[in-house]
Amino acid sequence: MSSHSRSNLITGLVFLAFAALVAFIWVPLDVETGLVEKVRRRIMIGDALAPTVAAFFIGLGGLVLVLFERKAPDQPSVKLTNVAFVGIQIAILVIGFLIMLYAGPLAVSLFSGDTEYRLLRDTAPWKYVGYFLGGIFIVAGLISQSEGRLTLRSVVIAIGVVVALIIIYDVPFEDLLLPPNGDV
């Protein structure tokens, strides 16, 4: 086993252990509610959902390293093109999050007169503006980066993904505020 494979195996095992620690020890000991709570016939997201989902994805990444990457041949050292690729991805995410943060308040100031965004952040269409535009920018941007060009197909996929996320996370839960509305 090469040193590259050994380091991937160790890294994968560390992340698997961390994910298990979070999901099975930290979350149950620290969080009072479950993944989903039913209170007075209303279904609400529990406090344990976000850290449990995060632990799942950390564990999934660790499992991928343990099962697949350790069998890969030694990889060449990091190249400037790899760093640029990751840098562009980070820039797309940062710009998308900034769009999410400021598009809603900007839309309210342009189209709703003297009303503050804070008062409208849980009313349609205002609660969707930032999430929708920022989400489309992020999804279409990441697809376009991997394809090497912006296409109508990537924008349509991005719209579909963002609408699906709104349906999954906003529609069933009355008390949930889509990002960044909970922080405004």
Query: According to the model, what pLDDT value does residue 53 have?
Result: 87
pLDDT, tens digit (0-9, with 9 covering 90-100), for 100-113: 999 988 888 888 77
**Is residue 120 over pLDDT 50?**
yes
Tell whether the model's pLDDT for residue 70 goes beyond 60: no
Tell me how far apart the alpha carbons of residues 121 and 158 are, in angstroms, rounded to a whole number: 23
Is the pLDDT at 168 greater than 70? The verdict is: yes
Q: Which ranges constitute the DSSP H helices of the chain?
A: 3-21, 27-30, 49-67, 80-111, 117-120, 126-147, 152-169
Residues in the chain: 184
Threshold 0.95, pTM exceeds: no
Whether the predicted pLDDT of 42 surpasses 80 = no
pLDDT at res. 2: 58
pLDDT for the residue 147: 93
